Structure 1
Amino acid sequence: MDFNQQIIDTFRANGGEVNEPMQFGKALVLVHVPKKDGTERVVPLAAIPQDGGWHVVGSAGGSPKHPVWVFGLRRAETITIEVPGEPVQTLTAAVNELEEPARATMWERFKAFSSGFAEYEKSAQGRVFPIFRLEPAT
């Protein structure tokens, strides 16, 4: 089974809590990213909740290139997300990419959340990681 699918299955089976194969706790959301062909790809992403929404970052494990899903979010006005809860909740969310200085402030929060994010800066060859705010659509 692929790594992401294992995380997705664990998320859905445990009210959004994932402690294996990695320790995320309830700090994940599942993002249904629209693809150009009209299908969706489900991506588990570390998330920082704030004021009723969630922030996710396109770190791609420190790759010098953006993950493909970033371009799908940039094209979308709303998407479907799954968030922790008993049971897991599925919501329609508005997508907003953060601009400076809000992006830099939230990037510091991601680095405080996990030291792995700070490590990603070393291999990203100067790439600025995009950060998106996902909030329930009204």
Structure 2
Amino acid sequence: MTAAPARRLVQRVSSTAAFARIAPHVVPALDRAVHRLTRGKVLPSARMLPGLVLVSRGARTGLERRTPLACVPEDPGATTWVLVGSNFGRPAHPAWTANLLAHPDGEVHWRGRTIPVHARLLRGEDREVAWAAALRLWPPYAAYQARIDREIRLFRLTRRD
């Protein structure tokens, strides 16, 4: 199977409610384990979508949290990314979005580099433009949004100096 048909198959499967029940327990755990074992060189889910590991502080605890996430890189210089709080189309916002709302400064592990970032929740036209880019990258986001009542949160991460 070539890359394009395989990608379409994965997109079709990832759009299902069954995937939404299973994936949140399997995909991040596998990503974290492999990322740790390879010292940040491999992130399995990034084979299908660009991915990074977000390091943030817990909204209530302030403890460090490491979350592997798909991302929408906005420029080739790796200075901004959009994160989509889809939670695989589950009803609640993912915890990492509350963490960024409470503590917007963090870092990302991107292609073997650690980069300090600042997060901003996107609204209005900024959100619409970013959402369109996210849908071009991964059309199943539309199925996730259609399944839930909440608006999926989008964040722009910008490199801090």
Give the TM-score taking structure 1 as reference length: 0.83
Distance 1:38 1:71 in 2: 12
- RMSD over aligned Cα atoms: 2.1
Which structure dedicates a bigger proportion of its chain to helix?
2
Q: Secondary structure of the equivalent of 1:64?
A: coil
Give runs of ≥4 in structure 1 deviating > 2 Å.
Answer: 8-19, 22-25
Which structure is larger by alpha-carbon Rg, 1 or 2? Answer: 2
Partner of 2:7: none
Structure 1 residues without counterparts, runs of 5 or longer: none
**Contact 1:33–1:73 (CA under 8 A) maintained in structure 2:** yes
Q: SS of 1:101's equivalent? A: helix
For residues 72 and 109 of structure 2, what CA distance do their matches in structure 1 show?
14
- The answer on whether the counterparts of 2:51 and 2:70 sit within 8 Å (CA) in structure 1 is yes
1:46 corresponds in structure 2 to 70
**Secondary structure in structure 1 of the residue aligned to 2:134:** helix
Matched, 1:74 2:98: no
> In the TM superposition, what is the alpha-carbon distance from 1:114 to its structure 2 partner?
1.2
- Are residue 28 (structure 1) and residue 51 (structure 2) matched? yes
Q: How many residues align?
A: 131
How many percent of aligned residue pairs carry the same amino acid?
22
Q: Determine helix, strand or coil for the equivalent of 1:90.
A: strand
Q: What CA deviation, in whole Å up to 9, does each residue of 1:8-56 have, x standing for no partner?
A: 233452734535xx7435x001011211212122111111111321110
The answer as to whether partners of 2:31 and 2:43 remain within 8 angstroms in 1 is no
The equivalences for 1:90-101 within 5 A come to 90-101=114-125
TM-score normalized by the length of structure 2: 0.72
In the alignment, the residues of structure 2 paired with residue 66 and residue 55 of structure 1 have an alpha-carbon distance, to the nearest angstrom, of 16
- 1:102 aligned partner: 126
Unaligned runs of 5+ in 2: 1-24
